[in-house]
Structures are given as C-alpha cells and as structure tokens.
Structure 1
Amino acid sequence: MHPHRAPPSDPPLPQRLKLSALWASLTFCYLYGDYFGLYKPGKLQHMLDGAGPMGPASQGSLLFVALLLAVPGLMVVLSLVVPLRALRPLAIGLALFYALFVALTVPGAWWFYVAYSGIEIALCAAIAWLAWRWPRLAA
C-alpha cells in the first residue's frame, strides 16, 4: 500500500439494496434448483407424459406455479420502489410464506434439492430478519 493513501472505504449498503439482492439470490436458487431437477432420471419423460410441478399439467396449475415463482423475482424491484410502510410487512410475510413452502417440499427430495432448500430457507430468514430489524430514525 502506498504510504500516503488511506485504505479504500466500503460505505454501508442501503437496506433496500440488501433486501433486493437477497430476493435476487433467492430467485436464482429457485431457477437453478428447478434446472438441476431436470437431470433427475425420468423427470423429463414424466413432464412429457403431462405431469406438472403440482400434479397434472394444466393451464391453471402452470399459471399458479408461474405466479408463485414470479413473486420473488418481482420483489427484486419492489424492494427498491414500494413505500417502506408496505415493504416491511410484504417482505416479512412473503419470506415466511416461501420458507414454509420450501420446507414442505423437502421431505423425500434428492440431496441437491435438500441443499438448495436449506439455502433458500436461510435466504428467506435473512429477508425476514432484515425487514423486521429495519433501522429506525432517531426521534
């Protein structure tokens, strides 16, 4: 290090940016978990036979799953633009919902999915914790 230079500064990230990054990470984990799930023997044939992620594939079931997976991706931007008064309960509620949903899908899953599920639940917990512990302005 040059003797006359101060070390680089790392300013704190805004809470909204942290929250947005956590939702982005969660979304990537969902996408990669589903992608790697396609390598499970028989999975593609099962899909070609008309099986969907939650029973027989239909327009309604696929719309439900599409919306279920779209929400975390939308939370990436919503974390940056929704008023704080609405964002905190929204982030906490959705994070807890998704953690529970993931936990309910783990029993009997392959190890890669169990690993992804653990990461996803940890990310949901971090989202809920960050939103719950939002800094307050001094009075």
Structure 2
Amino acid sequence: MDSMKKAGTTLDDIRIHVKMKISALWASLMFCYIYADYFGLYVPGTLQKMLEGKMGPLGPTTQGVLLGTSLMMAIPSIMIFLSLVLKPNLNRWLNIIFGAIYTAIILITMWDWAFYIFFGIIEVLLTGLIAWYAWNWPKQEAT
C-alpha cells in the first residue's frame, strides 16, 4: 500500500537552475541541426553537388565558406558549455543575442523540404526558449 499514491500528494521534483535549462536547450538544438543536415544528404542531387564542390545556396565550396559555416555551427556547440560556466550577466546577454541570431538564421534557411520545415519549427522553439529563459533570468537580492 505504501507504493500507492495517497490523496493530496505530488511527485517529487527538483528545481533546475536556468543555466542547466539553457545548456540543455543548446544541446537539443545541436541534435536537431545534426539530424536535419544528415537527412539533407538524402535530398536528390545533394551528394552530386557536394562532389562538384557546391555548397547549397552558398555556391562554390571554398575554405572561406567552410570556415564561416564552421564558425556558425561552433557557436551553439560552445554555448552548451558556456551557458553552464559564465557569470550570469554575460551569460544572460550572450544567450539573448545568440538565441535571437540563431532564430533568424533558422527562419531564413528552413523553407525547403518538409523535414527542414519540421526541424526548423522545433529549432525556432528551442532558440526562442533560450532567449526567453535568458531574458527572464531569475533575480536575487544583492548582498
């Protein structure tokens, strides 16, 4: 009988700090990026364009294009860690800024195949939540 729920009781839960929530959102975002890009390899003609040295709408694959794309993907990856270790003020503003920037990037690039739109909607929700949690960062009395 001890294992049965008694009237008026609730399930145990812990309060998760905003830093952990934001870090988990960046990690979730990266998984969506990876899967969307992986599935994108199955779009007819994609592999042929890669073999021809073309990178989607960016045109010819150059060191500059690959470096820029790498930088664009490195920021969310690094934000997983930085969201946990940075001091609150810098942390908050970086997450607001990058959350907004990556929301805009997704909105610009997601309009192609249905699976890109599906992942894009999820990614917009995740980046929106990142910016929202950062904007609404809990305050405490100064000591």
Q: Calculate the TM-score normalised by the size of structure 2.
A: 0.90
In the alignment, does 2:88 pair up with 1:89?
no
**TM-aligned CA deviation for residue 8 of structure 1:** 5.3
- Which residue in 2 is equivalent to 1:34? 37
Q: What's 2:2 paired with?
A: 2
**Pair 1:65–1:7, CA change in 2 (3 A):** same
Query: How big is the shift at 1:64?
Result: 0.4
Which one of 75, 83, 93 corresponds to residue 79 of structure 1? 83
1:133 aligns with 2:131: no
Q: 1:48 aligns with which of 27, 47, 51?
A: 51
What is the root-mean-square deviation in Å for CA atoms of aligned residues? 1.8
CA deviation after TM superposition for structure 1 residue 116, in Å: 0.5
Q: Which 4+ residue blocks in structure 1 deviate beyond 4 angstroms?
A: 3-8
Task: Give matches, 1:5-16, under 5 Å.
Answer: 9-16=12-19
Tell me the matched-pair count.
Answer: 138
Residues 5-62 of structure 1: per-residue CA shift (max 9 Å, x gap): 9865211111110010000001111111100000001100111000024221011100
In structure 2, what residue type is equivalent to 1:119? I
List gaps (5 residues or longer) in structure 2. none
CA distance in 1: counterparts of 2:59 and 2:103, whole angstroms: 21
Extract unaligned runs of 5+ from structure 1.
none
**C-alpha separation between the residues in 1 aligned to 2:108 and 2:10?**
47
CA distance in 1, matches of 2:21, 2:3: 34
- In 1, Cα distance between equivalents of 2:116 and 2:17: 32
